[in-house]
């Protein structure tokens, strides 16, 4: 066994010791084969089922011209739910692959029902993306793409203003905060397509609404939405 192989054999247990793998939701140690969530927390994930009609109040706020046809969300949470840790881990703890992992799970639930033929992830401002190292919406989109094989189009919608975070703002402030933050580039690329707009969380729908307002200039486009979580 050469030195590198020895290191590899030793590194696994050592890494476990230095960085114990724990469930992001309950903090219990993860067993072999478990990823990010323990089996119990995964089983209790508050999935959104179509018959629950969660999120209809979000869809109903937009004009007919660009109202999305479908809204998919993997789960829902409120401010007291430990499941909000999943979103927090992706955005602020650099759990980049978790976005992809949960995006794949969401894609599996959309199989056979999603009518979209291209995915547009909600863009971050380039400055914020550089700081975080990735765009979480794109990671989620990649997970969905792995299952549904729908093309991702990341260069049509651009974020041109680096607005403040929506966290802690009321509905009115959120609308004001996202005014004119997006621009459209080469809209002809997506003419006639059914666009799946993807974001990590939809709260009041202010950011998504601003995206839709800009994207509706694309000729003959229709829309659906997908997010990892809806907040209640
Ligand atoms: Zn757990």
214 Cα to the center of ligand 1, angstroms: 40
Summarised one tens digit per residue, pLDDT across range 75-119 is 999 989 999 999 999 999 989 999 999 999 999 999 999 999 999
Question: 63 and 177: one domain?
Answer: yes
Centre of ligand 1 to C-alpha 203, Å, is: 24
Domain check: are 30 and 66 in the same one? no
Give me ligand 1 centre to Cα 9, in Å. Answer: 27
CA of residue 54 to ligand 1 center, whole Å: 24
Dist. CA 143 → ligand 1 center (Å): 22
Higher pLDDT, 97 or 65: 97
Tell whether 31 and 113 lie within a shared domain: no
- pLDDT single digits (tens) 182-225: 999 999 999 999 999 999 999 999 999 999 999 999 999 999 99
pLDDT at site 9? 63
**132 and 171 co-located in one domain:** yes
SS3 225: strand
125 within 8 A of 159, measured Cβ to Cβ: yes
Stated pTM of the model: 0.89
Q: CA–CA separation, 212 vs 202, rounded Å?
A: 13
Shared-domain flag, residues 70 and 176 = yes
* CATH number of 188's domain: 3.40.50.2020
In 3D space, the residue among 216, 224, 184, 187 whose CA is nearest the CA of residue 65 turns out to be 216
The Å distance, Cα 37 to ligand 1 centre, comes to 5
What is the whole-number distance in angstroms between the Cα of residue 21 and the centre of ligand 1? 11
Residue 30 alpha carbon to ligand 1 centre in Å:
8
Question: Is the same domain home to 101 and 184?
Answer: yes
Query: Could you report the per-residue pLDDT of 140-172, keeping only the tens digit for each?
Result: 999 999 999 999 999 999 999 898 888 888 888
3-state secondary structure of 33: coil
When pLDDT is cut at 50, 70 and 90, the band that residue 175 belongs to is confident
Domain that residue 227 falls in: 45-231
Q: How far, CA to CA in Å, does 8 sit from each of 15, 16, 20?
A: 10, 13, 17
**Do residues 17 and 69 share a domain?**
no
Kindly report each contact of residues 25-28 with a partner whose C-beta sits within 8 Å and lies 24 or more positions away, as own/partner.
25/82, 25/83, 25/85, 25/86, 26/82
Residue 24 Cα to ligand 1 middle (Å): 7
CB 96 within 8 A of CB 139: yes
Residue 31 CA to ligand 1 center (angstroms) comes to 11
**52 in the same domain as 18:** no
Q: Report the domain count for the chain.
A: 2
**40 C-alpha to center of ligand 1: Å?**
6
Q: Are residues 55 and 37 in the same domain?
A: no
Cα 89 to middle of ligand 1, angstroms: 14
Q: Does one domain contain both 50 and 30?
A: no
Whole-number pLDDT of residue 4: 63
């Amino acid at each position: 066994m050469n030195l590198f192989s020895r290191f590899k054999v030793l590194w696994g247990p050592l890494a476990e010791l230095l960085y114990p793998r724990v469930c992001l939701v309950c903090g219990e140690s993860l067993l072999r084969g478990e990823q990010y969530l323990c089996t119990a927390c995964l089983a209790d994930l508050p999935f959104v089922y179509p018959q629950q009609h969660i999120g209809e109040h979000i869809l109903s706020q937009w004009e007919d011209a660009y109202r999305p046809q479908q809204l998919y969300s993997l789960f829902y949470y409120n401010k007291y739910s430990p499941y909000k840790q999943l979103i927090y881990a992706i955005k602020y703890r650099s759990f980049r692959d978790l976005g992809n992992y949960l995006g794949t799970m969401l894609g599996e639930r959309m199989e056979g029902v999603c009518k979209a033929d291209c995915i547009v992830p909600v863009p971050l401002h380039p400055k914020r993306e550089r700081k975080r190292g990735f765009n979480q919406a794109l990671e989620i989109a990649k997970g969905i793409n792995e299952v549904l094989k729908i093309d991702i189009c990341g260069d049509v919608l651009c974020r041109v203003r680096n607005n403040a975070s929506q966290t802690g703002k009321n509905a009115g402030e959120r609308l004001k905060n996202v005014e004119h933050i997006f621009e459209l580039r080469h809209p002809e690329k997506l003419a006639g397509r059914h666009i799946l707009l993807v974001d990590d969380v939809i709260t009041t729908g202010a950011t998504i609404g601003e995206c839709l307002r800009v994207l509706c200039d694309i000729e003959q486009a229709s829309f659906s939405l997908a997010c990892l979580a809806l907040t209640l």
